Amino acid sequence: MKKIKVGIIGATGYAGVELVRLLALHPQAQIVALSSVSYEGKRISDVYPNLKDICDDVLENEDIIDRCDVIFTSLPHGLSEKFAGKCLDKGVKMIDLGADFRLDSAEEYAKWYNKQYEDEKLHTQSVYCIPELHRAAYKNQPIIGNPGCYPTSIALGLAPAIKYAVDNTVVIDSKSGVTGAGRGLADNTHYPNCNEAFSPYKVASHRHTPEIEQTLSKLAGKKVNVTFVPHLLPVNRGIVSTIYFNVKEAMTAKQLHEIYSEFYKREKFVRVLASGEVANLRNVKYSNYCDISVHYDEHTQRVVIVSTIDNMVKGAAGQAIQNMNIMFGLEEKCGLEYIPPAF
């Protein structure tokens, strides 16, 4: 079989270079072009010396679409639409790792991102896809909006049970490794400032909130409001979302566990832990797995779900490749069977 020809626009961002790491060994894909505005003309292994002798491709400008079957865009919000337009024109598929194809509502996008969609038609040809939840919604749309890292951990953690939740009781306390903040230098990611430190940020005002509520509302069949507070965790990788909600009727921990086990029983990349175990980001890092543990606090009739992923794999590049596999009719797990290391 001929390999899928892949191009990456924004290859030197953190999600971009993680795509390179995973795609370079993908048995059915082949990187044919890498684009970077900041580093045009340099080899990617000059920017990321871990890639020396493995991928020494020269970074190009943005005119790479012609040579590709699929383009991954990994760009700050607001920059993907123009590439989407070009891809559509040329019959090239596109998977956007940014925020521009995640929200159904142009109003919500404008409100949270301070920017208007420039070409609303484009958005009618895209689909938002967490494979475990939305693969059935993929009907050969040429554009996939790859989900955000926090929303992935949260949607997978809540999908089986959101319908049991009492309205407006969902509280989500998420913690993300520092790669989530990206490659750009900033005071709060300067080593002495975030090592031996910990705090929330963007309390109840993070841009992933509408994406989370959109997914949960669809799953629940009604508007779901949540309080979402992300925290910056002094580790390189990984997200842990601790999710709280009250249930309408008391249940047993066993019932709750069965709901989750049943829901995910055919999923390779979602592991529902045995009762009594607690999900730890340690067990998923560098892999495409999502580990979920379920807990029930009887004295408050409140469910506690712990959902953990690697923010750069299942939360970004890995899930994007899983979506590429769907787009091209491959097995979803193809090229993604990395085993999380023990340490």
Report the alpha-carbon distance of residue 151 to residue 207 in Å, rounded.
Answer: 10
Q: Name the minimum Å distance from CB 253 to a copy of itself.
A: 10
Which residue of 1, 136, 250, 342 would you call a contact of a copy of itself, by CB under 8 A?
342
- Which residue number, 291 or 332, has a Cβ lying nearer to a copy of itself? 291
> How far apart are the C-alpha atoms of 189 and 37, rounded to whole Å?
23
Within 157-186, the residues that bind a copy of itself by CB under 8 A are: 168-169, 171, 173, 175, 177-179, 183, 185-186
Closer to a copy of itself at the Cβ: 124 or 343? 343
Q: Any contact of residue 37 with a copy of itself (CB under 8 A)?
A: no
User: DSSP assignment, residue 237?
Assistant: S
Supply the minimum distance, in Å, between the C-beta of residue 90 and a copy of itself: 30
In the range 194-223, which residues lie near a copy of itself by CB under 8 A?
194-201, 203-204
- Smallest gap from residue 162 Cβ to a copy of itself (A): 15
CB 163 within 8 A of CB 241: no
**Do 173 and 231 meet the contact criterion of CB atoms below 8 Å apart?**
yes
Q: Tell me whether residue 129 or residue 239 sits nearer to a copy of itself (CB atom).
A: 239
22: phi then psi, degrees, rounded to nearest 5? -80, -40
Which amino acid is it at 88? L
> Which segment (66-74, 84-92, 141-149, 287-295) binds a copy of itself by CB under 8 A?
287-295
User: Where does this chain touch a copy of itself (CB under 8 A) — which range of 84-92, 129-137, 144-152, 281-289?
Assistant: 281-289
Crossing angle for the helix pair 208-220 and 149-158, to the nearest 10 degrees: 20
d(CA 23, CA 16): 10
Segment 220 to 249, residues that bind a copy of itself, using CB under 8 A: 225-227, 229, 231, 233-238, 240, 242, 244, 246
- Kindly list the catalytic residues: 149
CB neighbours of residue 63 within 10 Å: 10
SS3 at position 55: coil
149 binds a copy of itself (CB under 8 A): no
| Closest listed residue to residue 103, CA positions, set 10, 207, 180 | 207
